[in-house]
Amino acid sequence: MPRPIEALIHPDAIARNIARARQSSPDAKVWAVVKANAYGHGIERVFEGLRAADGIALLDLAEAERVRALGWRGPILLLEGCFEARDLELCSRLRLWHVVHCEQQIDWLAMHKTHEPHRVFLKLNSGMNRLGFTPQAFRAAWARLDALPQVDEISLMTHFSDADSERLGADGIAAQLAAFQLATRDLPGERSVCNSAATLRHAERASGDWVRAGIMIYGGVPDFPEHDATHWGLAPAMTLRSKIIGQQQLQPGDTVGYGSRFQAERPMRIGVVACGYADGYPRHAPTGTPVLVDGRRTRIVGRVSMDMMTVDLTNLPESGFGSEVTLWGRGPKGALLAIDEVAQSAGTIGYELMCAVAQRVPVSVEAHA
């Protein structure tokens, strides 16, 4: 028997969440962002759901090959563009659209021999200061690309640093959006500026021609805890579940796990769950982190160890050995535990937890409705 832990992927949720992005931004096309192997879900596993998108955006050329091998004929966008000149050969062969964010990438294009000119997304650094041309250099980069026979269509993009919060400017995107509008004024071409947070929060002003929906298509909430999945109408695309494989009765003063980090103040019953940090569950999740047992909410107690963690069963008299434990996602009887809640308790974000599910966890895919 394998250990009872498993991840269950819900491609139907991906399709629903893509529809949700469309609802926010009805005039825009939707890129489904599938970098990092579809945020840890597995590109092949979620592919049925991804068919609801207009295009697939990713970073890795090997992932682009996998998407074409699945039969995807629509647009694929390389979000960081090429990493070296010879990547352009694959772009030509697989008809990949690619971001151009620096002069070197234009130099490579200028030397590239291709029969089919490329579609590129010219990226503006509007304030994030990661990738992209500065506003001062943007028009010259556009003119260079426009003069190349290797390029046929130039789209324009930028990426927001604060679309999920209100730290910068009035609404988090105001300064960057203004910089983008100024730098791209009068330039032809499609525009793409919104990630999930901007799609959900700012689409009325910023939607552009393409939104780039990442975390939201997996049911993660970009601006948790200000909003939750119910507020945004998002469904989880991954469930991590396991079982109780042991139980202990504690007396007041008894401690649990490594470092004796939890001490019982009254008689308690605890369950031992087959899930630990070697499965990708965050070790730093403290006592109190929510978990579902048989669909009912309780908390973890004590330190998460490599293969096990302990949960409080004191108020769940019907649960015990063999009970189903939902670490996040869909529980029995319609119960839900948002990955965002677990992430917040562990001091991280849902993005990190979904990407971190370990290789040793068996994954199955729920049949697409």
Ligand X SMILES: Cc1ncc(COP(=O)(O)O)c(C=O)c1O
Residues annotated as part of the active site? 35, 258
**Which residue of this chain has its Cβ atom nearest to ligand X in the complex?**
214
Beta bridge partners of 42: none
Q: How many whole angstroms separate alpha carbon 64 and alpha carbon 80?
A: 13
Applying CB under 6 A, does 127 fall inside the site for ligand X?
no
| 191-to-126, 135, 204, 212 alpha-carbon distances in Å | 14, 16, 14, 11
- Taking the complex as a whole, how short is the minimal distance between the CB of residue 152 and ligand X, in angstroms? 22
For ligand X, the binding residues in 133-192 under the rule CB under 6 A are: 159
Tell me the closest approach of the beta carbon of residue 356 to ligand X, in angstroms: 15
- Tell me: cis bond preceding 222? Omega within 30 of 0 counts: no
Q: What are phi and psi of 240, to 5 degrees?
A: -110, 120
Q: Please report whether residue 79 would count as binding ligand X according to CB under 6 A.
A: yes
Concatenated DSSP letters of 70-103: TT--S-EEETT--SSTTHHHHHHHHT-EEEE-SH
**Angle CA(214)–CA(216)–CA(217) in degrees, nearest 5?**
75
Supply the minimum distance, in Å, between the C-beta of residue 166 and ligand X.
16
Q: Which listed residue (214, 280, 282, 350) binds ligand X by CB under 6 A?
A: 214
Q: Is 33 in the site for ligand X (CB under 6 A)?
A: yes
- CB closer to ligand X, 117 vs 135: 135
Task: Please give the full DSSP string across 153-188, using - where no structure is assigned.
Answer: EEEEEE--SSTTSSSSTTTSSHHHHHHHHHHHTT--
Near ligand X by CB under 6 A, which window of 69-77, 147-155, 183-191, 209-217?
209-217
Whether the CA torsion 164, 127, 203, 192 is positive or negative: it is negative
Which of 215, 245, 264, 300: binder of ligand X (CB under 6 A)?
215
Q: Which is nearer to ligand X, 46 or 264 (by Cβ)?
A: 46
Asked if 96 touches ligand X (CB under 6 A), the answer is no
> Interface with ligand X includes 313 (CB under 6 A)?
no
Of positions 21, 67, 145, 213, contacts ligand X by CB under 6 A: 213
Measured from the CB atom, the residue of 290 and 350 that comes closer to ligand X is 350
Q: Which residues bind ligand X (CB under 6 A)?
A: 33, 79, 159, 195-197, 212-215, 222
